Structure 1
Amino acid sequence: MQPAEAVAKNSTKGGSQERVWKSDLYQLQQEAPKPQPVLSVVENKNTKYFGAEHHGSISHSHSVKLLTEDGMYLVRTSRDGQQTLSIRISGAVKNFKIFFDENDRTFFVKNKRFGTIGDLVADGLVTMYIENKAGSYLEKMYSYDNYEKSPYMTLNRLKMKTLGKTKKLKSGNNNFGEEKKRDSYDKAHSFKTYNFKGLNWCEFCGNFLWGFSAQGVKCDDCGFSAHHKCSEKVPSDCCPDLSNLRGIFGVDLTTLTKALKTSRPFVVDKCVEEIERRGLANAEGLYRVPGFSDHVENLKMAFDKDGEKTELSPEVFDNVNVIAGTLKLFLRLLPIPIITFEVHPMLCSAAENRVLSEQVSALKLAVNCLPVAHYHTLKYLVEHLARVASSAETNKMSAHNIATVFAPTLMPALELPSLNSQGGIPGMDTEIAVIEAIITNHSLIF
């Protein structure tokens, strides 16, 4: 039986997702012709980069005569002065523009980069051989969209069933529904092109990830592996693994909470709890007075290293402003601010309402559009800030003062600020008004 026929037969046997790992494409890779360089007997100026495989300015017809077996290849200078890679595959000679990057000293034809021409050709021969022998199968494979029967779902069905449950959270009395359903596990994968080592397969279609470099993509957060095209069909159900994250600071809020399996990051809880434990009334200038930067950095490093076991007691950090400063730093380093860029203009528009009831209703509607992790973190933080503001007589931090401090962190500018006519950066009056309104009316909004 020919390879293409074997692949086609297996693809229809019990459905294309019957087996977890299909060896057909791996077998085709093993059968692909191996690279055989045709060396030139005449030196030319291009041998500096392309070596003895470069034959100078020879014609296409001449290269065809030299390439007599599948897998043979050479490099030549074409009429337009470009360097051309000629490869014989399936009885025909194919030509590709080839480039050399002097900065990283790699060869490339398209996106993939290789340290040697031989590695580039080996990868190309595998890809072309598989496409020639199993083109129709690949087309069906890429068009398949039954994610429920993918290997990933088959092997992790119980886990995915548990994680996939929609959690109902009370949204309070509102005019747009008694309850709001929030899917705690709606997160897109963070796919990046990846160089796989050894035998690897696509967790979507179950087929071999062929080639020797950049065979597919891998999610930075959960490790899900897939072909480039298959990854386009994977839904937003990433379940991050904490072991894949580099520390706690600077991590997307949804990614972090999903990895920690919490509704909000423990950094926020621990800082708020310790600050309130030490008392809010006598901490004058809380969140406005900065802590020593070295101490803040030390606490940040401790959180990244020790996680929830990080010690915040007065014996370790005697200045409460260090803890407050670390909390602000955590929020400031979020890749997506707590109040997302999509919700930002909605809140600004809501704050323009002069009728209080209408303003609160609009603020509430906008806040409910936040991703679940952002919603819970903002709710917890705002309730804390409201308690800080309740002691404004002694700590000098009114809702307006707190909003002034937190607005640039919770609602950073949507665009890079430009200098005004006086040479200064324009204020954030609207954002401050939004945060102040949310703090003042938090019991109605959340």
Structure 2
Amino acid sequence: MVLDLSSPAHTLWKTDLYRIQLEAPVPIPILCDDLLPDRPYFLGQDYHGAISHIQAAQLLDTKENGAYLVRTSRSANGEFYTLSLKFNGKIHHYKLYFDPDGALYVGEKRYDCARSLVADGLVTMYIELKAPTILQKLTSVNYQESPYMTLTLNKRKLRILSKQNLVKQNALGNLNDDNGNNNPYTTTDQLSAQTLNDKAEKPHLFKLTTFKGLNWCELCANFLWGFTLQGKKCDDCGVIAHIKCSEKFANDCIPDLKYMRGVFGIELTTLLCAYKANLPFVVTKCVAEVEARGLTTEGIYRLSGFADEIDAIKMAFDKDGEKADLSMEKYPNINVITGALKLYLRILPVPLITFEVHPRLIDAIQHNDMDVQLTSIKHALLLLPKSHYDSLRFMIQHLHRVARHAPINKMNALNLATVFAPTLIHHPPNIIPDVRSDILLLELMINKCDGVFLKSQSP
């Protein structure tokens, strides 16, 4: 980030942290003109070879704050490099960490050269020296009391959050009678559904970001200081925060479509929040086509369509969204539609049956009693995020309808389970999958779908 002091923005919002950054010392490299054969490719002329801390201090002693050099510490037997830096009138020595690509790093931050690291470090050190009370507030700020939350930029977010809270309160109120007592006619399914609905919260997807221009934290309203990777930005909603402040945000991310990159390969809850939908339109549109013209097609879901046409459907969904054309005139081969649907489910970052819930489902089918199996599966499924639960229920109910046409399409519950096991269930790389158990689980869910899922609340 380059600060343009002549810019009109310079005088707009001059917070204390911004003012302090402008006062911070700048990096002054002490260059070495000698040709050093052992100079690493990722270090420049500020590298002085194997010199002691005493020699480094002598070179820096008469220089201004911000002067620095890089050396190989003699006491380290050449195993690591040391940054010697003058700050606040004293000489400081820091171990330099670097990855195999030669990028220097401090914590999560990566720097392409020592000068960038020193520039960023000097600002941070100066702010820590001059504004310790402000920094202490950053770690104790309350998200709901953030001053930024009162600004115009977040009024839309506040309205949406308030509406969501009102819906939850009304739902809880419906579980009580007029006197505020627990309704004796409330069923276990209703209570379980309410628990499931509360899982619609979505965490922010924060990533370290280098910002251009002036930026302020949307939690504490303080300036994001530094010259590179100043803070974190949510990939889904665009909210900006200090690295420490990002840890304080509630799970109230409201994804914005302008940050979405298509629909395939997008985390399911993120996609549904962005489109304000209950089910992914890729699934609903593909299922609608299959049920309209594919239920009696022999080998439905088992046979694959042409890869080029499947890619074309993927591109159409990514580009046109819900308006993607899947009509008979456009794609007469229904196997292309089923191939696109399986591809969408297969490349979800988090599988429809999540890694956390899958072992519980496998445990559930180990019971000998069928009723106990169904009850155990039902309870395990309630641990899924709401978006996954609703989408899985929709798919399993669809596969149940496909299996009812097995005398014609030759795809009974077992055959469908065999096809969809690797699509709906993923296994961590270090786990040897028990494919047989996965197939038995899906076969049971398809055959007994009414017994393992809550009734849909949608009209």
Normalising by structure 2, we get a TM-score of 0.83
1:302-381 pair list within 5 angstroms: 302-381=316-395
1:392 corresponding residue in structure 2: 406
Q: CA deviation at 1:164?
A: 4.7
Q: CA deviation at 1:51?
A: 4.0
Maintained 8 Å contact 1:209/1:216: yes
Q: Aligned with 1:180: secondary structure?
A: helix
Structure 2 CA distance, aligned partners of 1:415 and 1:111? 25
- In structure 2, the CA distance between the partners of 1:297 and 1:22, relative to structure 1 (3 Å rule), is same
- In structure 2, the CA distance between the partners of 1:275 and 1:145, relative to structure 1 (3 Å rule), is same
Q: Greater shift after overlay, 364-373 or 350-359?
A: 350-359
Structure 2 CA distance, aligned partners of 1:72 and 1:427? 61
1:70 corresponding residue in structure 2: 65
Q: Greater shift after overlay, 212-221 or 435-444?
A: 435-444
Deviations 1:326-382 (A, max 9, x none): 111111111111111111122222223333332222221112221100111111112
Query: In the alignment, residue 88 of structure 2 is paired with which amino acid?
Result: S
Residue of structure 1 aligned with 2:20, choices 24, 28, 31: 28
Query: In the alignment, residue 448 of structure 2 is paired with which amino acid?
Result: N
Q: Greater shift after overlay, 399-408 or 207-216?
A: 399-408
Query: In the alignment, residue 277 of structure 1 is paired with which amino acid?
Result: A
2:448 corresponding residue in structure 1: 441
Structure 2 CA distance, aligned partners of 1:21 and 1:145? 22
Query: In the alignment, residue 138 of structure 2 is paired with which amino acid?
Result: M
Residue of structure 2 aligned with 1:428, choices 432, 435, 438: 435
Q: CA deviation at 1:440?
A: 1.8
2:4 corresponding residue in structure 1: none
1:183-202 pair list within 5 angstroms: 183=198, 185-202=200-217
- In structure 2, the CA distance between the partners of 1:150 and 1:264, relative to structure 1 (3 Å rule), is farther
Q: Greater shift after overlay, 152-161 or 229-238?
A: 152-161
1:240 corresponding residue in structure 2: 255
Structure 2 CA distance, aligned partners of 1:442 and 1:252? 25
1:121-140 pair list within 5 angstroms: 121-140=118-137
Q: Aligned with 1:232: secondary structure?
A: helix
1:38-437 pair list within 5 angstroms: 38-40=30-32, 42-45=34-37, 49=41, 50-67=43-60, 68=62, 69-80=64-75, 81=78, 82-98=80-96, 103=101, 106-108=103-105, 111-152=108-149, 155-156=154-155, 157-166=158-167, 168=171, 175=188, 177-178=190-191, 180-181=193-194, 182-183=197-198, 185-280=200-295, 282-413=296-427, 418=432, 428-437=435-444
Query: In the alignment, residue 293 of structure 2 is paired with which amino acid?
Result: R
Maintained 8 Å contact 2:236/2:260: yes
Q: CA deviation at 1:271?
A: 0.4
Structure 1 CA distance, aligned partners of 2:415 and 2:249? 45
Q: Aligned with 1:263: secondary structure?
A: coil
Query: In the alignment, residue 24 of structure 1 is paired with which amino acid?
Result: D
Deviations 1:113-158 (A, max 9, x none): 3334332222111111011111232123212234343524652322
Structure 2 CA distance, aligned partners of 1:227 and 1:300? 37
Q: Aligned with 1:98: secondary structure?
A: strand
Q: CA deviation at 1:61?
A: 3.6
Q: CA deviation at 1:185?
A: 3.9
Deviations 1:140-197 (A, max 9, x none): 3212234343524652322332345555599999646556221364112111111111
Q: Greater shift after overlay, 335-344 or 113-122?
A: 113-122
Maintained 8 Å contact 1:164/1:185: no
- In structure 2, the CA distance between the partners of 1:242 and 1:184, relative to structure 1 (3 Å rule), is farther
Q: CA deviation at 1:41?
A: 5.9
- In structure 2, the CA distance between the partners of 1:404 and 1:60, relative to structure 1 (3 Å rule), is closer
Maintained 8 Å contact 1:188/1:236: yes
Q: CA deviation at 1:208?
A: 0.9
Deviations 1:7-51 (A, max 9, x none): xxxxxxxxxxxxx97711111000001222333465544667544
2:7 corresponding residue in structure 1: none
Maintained 8 Å contact 1:399/1:439: yes
Q: CA deviation at 1:254?
A: 0.9
Structure 1 CA distance, aligned partners of 2:136 and 2:237? 27
Maintained 8 Å contact 1:97/1:109: no
Q: CA deviation at 1:52?
A: 3.9
Q: CA deviation at 1:299?
A: 1.1
Structure 2 CA distance, aligned partners of 1:21 and 1:186? 33
Maintained 8 Å contact 1:217/1:231: yes
> What is the identity percentage for the equivalent residue pairs of Structure 1 and Structure 2?
47
Maintained 8 Å contact 1:165/1:183: no
Query: In the alignment, residue 94 of structure 1 is paired with which amino acid?
Result: H
- In structure 2, the CA distance between the partners of 1:90 and 1:429, relative to structure 1 (3 Å rule), is same
Query: In the alignment, residue 359 of structure 2 is paired with which amino acid?
Result: P
- In structure 2, the CA distance between the partners of 1:359 and 1:229, relative to structure 1 (3 Å rule), is same
RMSD over equivalenced CA pairs, Å: 2.9
Structure 1 CA distance, aligned partners of 2:384 and 2:88? 55
Query: In the alignment, residue 259 of structure 2 is paired with which amino acid?
Result: N
Query: In the alignment, residue 228 of structure 1 is paired with which amino acid?
Result: I
Maintained 8 Å contact 1:185/1:238: no
Q: CA deviation at 1:205?
A: 1.1
Maintained 8 Å contact 1:217/1:226: yes
Query: In the alignment, residue 22 of structure 2 is paired with which amino acid?
Result: Q
Structure 2 CA distance, aligned partners of 1:264 and 1:275? 17
Maintained 8 Å contact 1:222/1:238: yes
Q: Which runs of no fewer than 5 residues in structure 2 stay unpaired?
A: 1-11, 176-184, 454-459
Query: In the alignment, residue 413 of structure 2 is paired with which amino acid?
Result: A
